[in-house]
Amino acid sequence: MEKELDRVIEEIMATPNVNGCLVADHQGLCLASKGTAHVDSAGMIVAISEQACKIQPNLKPPTVCLETDTKQCLIQRHGTITGAIFKQKS
């Protein structure tokens, strides 16, 4: 059932500098995760994207980028599904 999702995750993980990937549903429950992405952070990731959507509720959901010195976390919501990609800065 989740074959297609696993394939997409594998594809994302194969991208250079990506070391983690997580997909969660609208309830903040983890659908899939791979690499450094922790299952327990699914709720927090969905909450961040929800809060970001409130900034401009009439526009499509924004991409949130959390950045540290060495790493990046990109969060994007699509309908009820939220995805997060953890990247090493190049």
Partner 1 sequence: MVDDLRKYLNHLLEKVNGLFSIIITDRDGVPLVRAVTERAPELALRPNFISTFGMATDQASKLGLGRNKTIISMYSSYQVIQMNKLPLVITFIGSDNCNTGHILSLESQIEPCLKELAAVVADAP
Q: Given the rule CB under 8 A, which residues bind partner 1? A: 24, 26-30, 40-44, 46-47, 50
- Check if the beta carbon of residue 25 is closer than 8 Å to that of residue 42: no
Nearer to partner 1, 41 or 83 (CB): 41
Nearer to partner 1, 11 or 39 (CB): 39
- Check if the beta carbon of residue 17 is closer than 8 Å to that of residue 23: no
- Check if the beta carbon of residue 22 is closer than 8 Å to that of residue 87: no
Nearer to partner 1, 9 or 22 (CB): 22
Return the number of other C-beta atoms located less than 10 Å from residue 36's C-beta. Answer: 15
Smallest separation, CB 68 to partner 1 (Å): 20
Smallest separation, CB 74 to partner 1 (Å): 18
